């Protein structure tokens, strides 16, 4: 008997809630009548009935930045950054696609060997380097796989070197590569 009572109470409470959830909400008011509880005055020529049928919550979209011709024609600025742990990165005042083209040309000029270019992930995969020593040469033991990764940041692009599994690389090759790239862009096209 209690189960039937509980079921009927739940149904009686749930049905009106489900029925009202998809109906438009109507608000009626008289614009000529003043109220002490109104925060904002309602204009006299406003309609007396308002229907609100859109029940979706507006979503804010992240600002990625806009590529405009003025920014692309401005002087290239490359900044060398270090975080609190001493990890280096480079910041370009260009969009990721422009930075990709600049880095691709720079890596070719610096004769850096690449295994792969993954443009969809903005990732240059560097060729594995053998660890020094006779044992490592015989056994074919390599340094960790390094990737040069482009990270969009509003109108700038951050360039970092990642190791395997998105880890910070322990190899000095990573630091040397960023220093070589920074020196390459610091020289300018006339000095190359």
Per-residue model confidence as pLDDT tens digits over 65-113: 555 555 556 788 899 998 888 788 999 999 898 999 999 999 999 998 8
Query: What is the radius of gyration, based on Cα positions, of the chain?
Result: 31
Q: What is the pLDDT of residue 107?
A: 92
Euclidean distance between CA atoms 72 and 83, whole angstroms: 27
Sorted by where each begins, the domain ranges of the chain are: 2-52, 69-191
* CB contact at 8 A, 130 and 76: no
Residue (of 63, 77, 26, 62) closest to 47 by Cα position: 26
Euclidean distance between CA atoms 81 and 186, whole angstroms: 14
pLDDT bucket at 37, cuts 50 / 70 / 90: low
Q: What is the CATH number of domain 69-191?
A: 3.30.310.170
Most confident region among 125-129, 130-134, 157-161, 162-166 by mean pLDDT: 157-161
Euclidean distance between CA atoms 115 and 168, whole angstroms: 19
Q: For 142, which DSSP code? A: B
Residue (of 90, 93, 152, 146) closest to 121 by Cα position: 152
> For the residues 100-127, what does the mean pLDDT come to?
89
**Residue predicted with more confidence, 103 or 50:** 103
Q: What is the pLDDT of residues 151-188, one digit of tens each?
A: 998 889 999 998 877 777 777 888 889 999 999 998 86
pLDDT bucket at 20, cuts 50 / 70 / 90: low
Q: What is the pLDDT of residue 101?
A: 92
CB atoms closer than 10 angstroms to residue 150: 22
pLDDT at 192 exceeding the cut of 70 = no
pLDDT at 132 exceeding the cut of 70 = no
Q: What kind and span of H or E run contains 98?
A: helix 96-109
């Amino acid at each position: 008997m209690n189960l039937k009572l509980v079921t009927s109470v739940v149904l009686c409470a749930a049905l009106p809630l489900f029925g009202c959830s998809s109906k438009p909400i109507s608000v009626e008011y008289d614009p000529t009548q003043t109220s002490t509880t109104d925060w904002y005055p309602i204009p006299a020529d406003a309609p007396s009935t308002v229907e609100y049928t859109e029940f979706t919550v507006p979503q804010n979209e992240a600002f990625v930045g806009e590529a405009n011709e003025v920014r692309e024609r401005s002087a290239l600025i490359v900044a060398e950054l270090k975080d609190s742990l001493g990890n280096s990165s480079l910041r370009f005042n260009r969009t990721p696609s422009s930075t990709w083209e600049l880095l691709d040309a720079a890596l070719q000029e610096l004769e850096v060997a690449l295994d792969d270019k993954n443009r969809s992930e903005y990732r240059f995969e560097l060729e594995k380097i053998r660890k020094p020593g006779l044992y490592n040469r015989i056994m074919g033991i390599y340094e960790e796989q390094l990737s040069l990764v482009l990270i969009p940041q509003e109108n700038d692009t951050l360039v970092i070197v990642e190791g395997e599994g998105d880890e910070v690389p322990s190899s000095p090759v990573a630091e040397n590569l960023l220093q070589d790239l920074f020196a390459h862009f610091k020289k300018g096209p006339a000095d190359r």
